[in-house]
Structures are given as C-alpha cells and as structure tokens.
Structure 1
Amino acid sequence: MSVRSLCLAILTFGDATGYEIRKESTEGRFSYFDDASYGSIYPALARLEADGKVTVREEQQHGKPARKVYSITEAGRDEFLASLCEPQAPDTFKSPFLLIAMYASDLGPDVIRRALDRRKQQILAELGKMQEFGYDDPRTGERWINEYGIACMKLTLAYLEEHGDDLINIAKGADKAAPVAAE
C-alpha cells in the first residue's frame, strides 16, 4: 500500500490533519497496514490536493499557528477503492525478536529467556489494544480484521509458550561463550 493510498484510507473515516494521519498510521486502526512518516505523509497530501483527491482548509487555533485539515473528495474515494481492486503486494513481517532467535546458539539461554519474555509481554500488550477496539457497526470488515489479528497474536503467543524451551535449549550450547548483553 502506498502512503498516498494510506492517507486516502484514513480520510475515508473523516477529516484529519497530517499529524492525525500519522498518529492513526502508527498507533490507530491503520497501524497494521503500512508505515508512513511525516516526511512521506505531507508530500503525499500535497500531491493528492494538487490532483483533486483531497481538499484542505485551515483552522485557526488560539495562540497557535493555523492547522491544515484534509478532506477526501469523491475522486479521492474512487481512486482509493480502485487501488484496493489491484493485486496486493505480499504481506511483510519484520521482527527484531526473530533476529535474536536466529542467533540463539551464539547468545546463551539468559539472553534468549529475556527475549522470549519481552516478546510475550509485547504480544499481550498488543492483544490488549486489539481487544479494546469498539465498532459502530459490527458488520464491517474492520471487526473481521481485528478478530483475525487477535487470532494471529494468540497463535504466536501459544507457539512461544509451547516451543520457547526449544529455543532456550538451542542457546544452552552457547552458554559458556555467550557475550554479555546490555538490557
């Protein structure tokens, strides 16, 4: 998904500032789809405005500079929906934890135990966030994707619980040569 499409997707839920788009893409309901930095959001919004896909208005704020609020146009909505009909790119998954696991035999069991515990805590925190989401309309795809995400997180957690000792055992071979790791 391009940053352009991500901006349009977020704007289908209502008007937003660039800051709000960034927050929604990093912490909100759109944080599971793609990453977008301020350095990519604002140029995308400028191009979308120039192309007639969004409009922008300035809202005055007391004691602060005016803020720009973006709204999607019908042409923007049409472009966004058309982009969803194109073949999607493969999902990407990046995990610093998996890099640690890859080198378990070089790190020792204490490092691996801590990494497993941190990863489990991260998953539990993410599950908590996902389980807090509410839905105005339970028939939407948003509910389905949240339930899909919860299922994936629960499966990951179960795998770590059931097979974490296997990784610790791999690391035990490195116990004597393990480097001192910083917390």
Structure 2
Amino acid sequence: MSLRYGILGFLSKWEATGYDLKKEFDDFMSIFWHSHLSQIYPELGRLEQDGFIASRMEPQSGKPDKKVYAITEKGKRELSSWLLSPPESPKIKDVFLMQVSFMDNIPIEEVVFQLKAYQKEREQRLAKMKRILLERWESIRERNLMKSRILMSSAVVRRGLEQELHYIRWCKDTIELVEACSHLWTADAEDREEKTIPFSEVEPAFRKFFGELLQIDDI
C-alpha cells in the first residue's frame, strides 16, 4: 500500500515516467524502500484508474513516445490525508537476523565468514548512500537553492547513513563476541547443540557486547 504513496509523493512536485520513478526508488528511496519496475507500473495503472494521477503521451524524436504521469487534485488530497495519518508500526522482516539466530548449527568459521560478508555488503550500501548524498549536495551548492523537499529528504538520508553505520558496528561486535566465545562450538555437528559451558566464562564478553545499552554494570 505504501508504494502508491511514495509514487504520489514524487509526483506531487514534478511529472515523471515509470522509468523516472524506478530510478528514484533505486537511488534515494533504496535507503528504506525497495521496489521492482514490475510493481511500479501496475500501481501507476491503479492510481490512474482511481483518479489520483493522470497520464499523457509525450513525443520523442527518433524514439517511441513516452508516457508521463502527473498527480491530480484528488491525488494531492489523498497524499495529504496519508501524510497526516498516524504511521503504522514497522513490520520488520530481516532475513539475515533470522539466519544469525540459528547459526549455532554451522561451524564457527562459517559464522564469522557470513558475518564478515554481510558487513561488507552493508559497507557497500553505506558507500552508495554517501555517494548519493555528496552528488545531491554538490548539485544544491551549484544551484545555490534549498527547498523543503530537499531538507526533509536529507533527514531521511541521514537516518539511512546512521542505520548502515549501526549495522556495520553490530557485525563487528558480533564477530568479536563469537570469536571470544568460540569454545561454544565443536567440530562435530552432532554435538554442537549440546555444547554448554559456565556462563561465568563468557560473561566478560557479554558485558562488553551489550555495554551501556542495558547498563549491564548494574547487574
């Protein structure tokens, strides 16, 4: 459902083709929302059928005509109504965290490898976000202008940067925790789930891992 409001949000300031919208979703919106072109075009059709947007064909020299979409007054009212409504609580689906929960079933070397691989992936996402921000920042400086849309989208970019930095830090800390508690894993897969040790042996690592998050020194 939120995809349609993202589309309306983009069209609230300028006209765009389906390809233009997909590019925005791949760049700026990728910080918090992923969408395929196969999802965008059907949603554009539904929005037009509902009267929230309208389309027109724009001639192109030497190329097929392109379909350009614009928001209608009804669409603006729908967008405003959504923006003024209370946000829904996020429904988190993080596949990697699900995997991490059960990594006691694989050798510790694989656990560390998977964590490092995912850390690298998040570092690449962070680099992409920084590139997007710097490119837009330079564009703003060249044009010497600021708009409310730019201001609010910049706040979203910052949240995305913080999110990636926190995930990278979590990966590093988890790798350190796993390596400090490596004796919980055994070479024999059949015995791995039965391996137990006194908590006192790993408590220092736990204290360091959680640190100030839980004020664990008071425990």
TM-score (norm 2): 0.69
The correspondence for 1:148, drawn from 139, 150, 159, is: 159
Shift of 1:177: 1.8
| Pair 1:138–1:117, CA change in 2 (3 A) | farther
Q: Does 1:9 align with 2:9?
A: yes
Shift of 1:172: 5.5
| Pair 1:97–1:62, CA change in 2 (3 A) | same
Structure 2, unaligned runs of 5 or more = 141-145, 191-219
CA distance in 1, matches of 2:147, 2:14: 19
Q: Which residue of structure 2 lines up, in the alignment, with residue 80 of structure 1?
A: 79
* Greater share of residues in helix: 2
CA distance in 2, matches of 1:44, 1:108: 45
| Pair 1:100–1:167, CA change in 2 (3 A) | farther
Contact 1:106 1:174 in 2 (8 A): no
Q: Which residue of structure 2 lines up, in the alignment, with residue 181 of structure 1?
A: none
- When the two structures are aligned, how many residues end up with a matched partner? 177
| Pair 1:149–1:38, CA change in 2 (3 A) | closer
Q: Which residue of structure 1 lines up, in the alignment, with residue 120 of structure 2?
A: 121
Contact 1:53 1:74 in 2 (8 A): yes
CA distance in 2, matches of 1:108, 1:124: 25
CA distance in 2, matches of 1:172, 1:64: 63
Which structure ranks higher in relative contact order (CA pairs < 8 Å, sequence separation ≥ 6)?
1
Amino acid at match of 1:51: D
Shift of 1:11: 1.6
Contact 2:31 2:157 in 1 (8 A): no
Deviates more, 1:8-17 or 1:134-143: 134-143
Q: Which residue of structure 1 lines up, in the alignment, with residue 42 of structure 2?
A: 43
State the percentage of identical aligned residues.
Answer: 27
Shift of 1:68: 1.0
Secondary structure at 1:94's aligned position in 2? Answer: coil
CA distance in 1, matches of 2:40, 2:158: 28
Larger radius of gyration: 2
Contact 2:122 2:168 in 1 (8 A): yes
Contact 1:108 1:174 in 2 (8 A): yes
Contact 2:116 2:171 in 1 (8 A): no
Contact 1:104 1:171 in 2 (8 A): no
Secondary structure at 1:31's aligned position in 2? Answer: helix
Contact 2:8 2:75 in 1 (8 A): yes
Amino acid at match of 2:171: L
Q: Which residue of structure 1 lines up, in the alignment, with residue 90 of structure 2?
A: 91
Shift of 1:76: 1.6
